Structure 1
Amino acid sequence: MKIAELGADGTEQAYDAMRQLRPHLTSAGFVRLVNEVQRPQGYRLVASWDALSGRVVAAAGFRVQHMLAHGPVLQVDDLSTIPAARGQGHASRLLAWLEREARFLGCAQLHLTAGTHRYDAHRLYLRHGFAIRSFQLSRQL
């Protein structure tokens, strides 16, 4: 299982995994949004490849944020695995990679947001030592 960061020229490789989480995005729209809007704001992508097919089957999008409450934190915006590859350790290895990167970057914490309906993701994150410490509230405008 290969884990590596994707540069701008590799963004499209993460689309199949990310569309599981962000189905409203087309492939071209995903690449454009990531490369033209999010990367300039510090967004990065890391991926996990299936050893047999050589395809990216899981990906995580993240950035470093500096917060008054916590100092620098590595914020995971997106973490997704294609259904056929779930339960094979891809997300766990991505989380381990993200933790190492957070430590390397001097982050005090690793944060992620998961929709309230994503129970399987909650179980995964709790197994990996995450704790529910607050609610993220939103309001549609």
Structure 2
Amino acid sequence: MSSPSSHTILCISTPSQIASCLATYQELRPHLIDEQQFVLQIEHQQKQDGFRLNAISIGDEIVALVGYRIMTTTAWGKIVYIDDLVCKESHRGKGLGSQLLHFVDNFAKENGCKQVHLDSGYQRNAAHKVYLNNGYILGCHHFIKTLN
């Protein structure tokens, strides 16, 4: 396993940088198909919600990324919420996810946040292990209701 600080973390902000993340994003969000729509969606989230996207590349390939934002809630106050954390299957087990989690932890501290939150599908056991090994706890259940 690589040490958690062995790769440079990139700030993703331009349309071409965002587009370069699509293949990696698709491993977590396979419904994201259209590159132009993907870029527009991320740009909208960046402008609307202060969404940040950081990534690790090996060569010219984005192999891991994290998308997150600062938010304030009545329950927890000012927090960072991680929307997406994904590592390409071919690069899992190398500490890249942990490196990105540490990066977000530091961002949260620097911005006066006391906690970092995320949701994870119940079936993502390998991801849960990474979160637990990085100090996350199972804090609540997240309920969803689809509206027609």
- TM-score category (smaller protein): over 0.9
Please state how far the C-alpha of 1:28 moved relative to its aligned partner: 2.2
State the alpha-carbon separation in 1 of the partners of residues 109 and 60 from structure 2. Answer: 29
Runs of 4+ in 1 over 2 A off after TM superposition: none
Percent of aligned pairs sharing the same letter: 30
- The answer as to 2:98 corresponding to 1:103 is no
- The answer as to 2:61 corresponding to 1:88 is no
CA-atom RMSD in angstroms: 1.1
Alignment-derived partner of residue 23 in structure 2: 16
Aligned residues: 138
State the alpha-carbon separation in 2 of the partners of residues 21 and 46 from structure 1. Answer: 15
Alignment-derived partner of residue 74 in structure 1: 80
Please state how far the C-alpha of 1:139 moved relative to its aligned partner: 0.8
1:1-141 equivalences in 2 (<5 Å): 1-9=7-15, 10-26=17-33, 27-35=35-43, 37-40=44-47, 41-50=49-58, 53-141=59-147
Structure 2 unaligned blocks of 5 or more: 1-6
Please state how far the C-alpha of 1:54 moved relative to its aligned partner: 3.2
Deviations 1:27-57 (A, max 9, x none): 222111111x21122111010112xx33210
State the alpha-carbon separation in 2 of the partners of residues 17 and 91 from structure 1. Answer: 13
Deviations 1:50-74 (A, max 9, x none): 2xx3321001110001011111100
State the alpha-carbon separation in 2 of the partners of residues 33 and 118 from structure 1. Answer: 25
State the alpha-carbon separation in 2 of the partners of residues 31 and 7 from structure 1. Answer: 10
- Normalising by the residue count of structure 1, what TM-score does the alignment of the two structures yield? 0.93
- Normalising by the residue count of structure 2, what TM-score does the alignment of the two structures yield? 0.89
